[in-house]
A = this chain, B = another copy of it.
Amino acid sequence: MTEPLHPVTGLDDVVHQRVRLGILTIAHEARRVEFVYLRTQLGLTAGNLSQHLTVLETAGLVEVEKGYEGKRGRTWITLTAAGNTALAEEIARLKQLIARVERP
């Protein structure tokens, strides 16, 4: 097989997948985000969100921290430095792709 040339070949499915791209984007906006907030913003079931968080946590892109707010259990999600870099790379590739689509 000859060398792949297209910008999408450089996209990482861990980051590019729709829901995970949403999680990383929201986590990028705040220092840390709460599980229920993420779930609501992204319109997900708790189970579905948990699955995607596990993929991101396993890849080292987010940290997931369980704690309490008063007596209520809370789960907090924080973007790691690697997650920040991965999101920046995804955005750079998407810009290349957009430029290619919009090229006259």
Residue positions of A touching B, CB distance < 8 A? 1-9, 11, 13, 16, 18-19, 21-22, 25-26, 28-29, 40-43, 87, 91, 94-95, 97-98, 100-103
Residues in B whose Cβ lies below 8 Å from that of A18: 8, 11, 13, 16
- By the criterion CB–CB under 8 Å, are B41 and A25 in contact? no
Q: How many copies are assembled?
A: 2
A interface majority secondary structure? helix
- By the criterion CB–CB under 8 Å, are B91 and A6 in contact? no
- Using CB atoms, name the residue of chain B closest to A97: B25
- By the criterion CB–CB under 8 Å, are A25 and B101 in contact? yes
Also in contact, A41 and B6, with CB within 8 A (given A16-B18, A100-B25)? yes
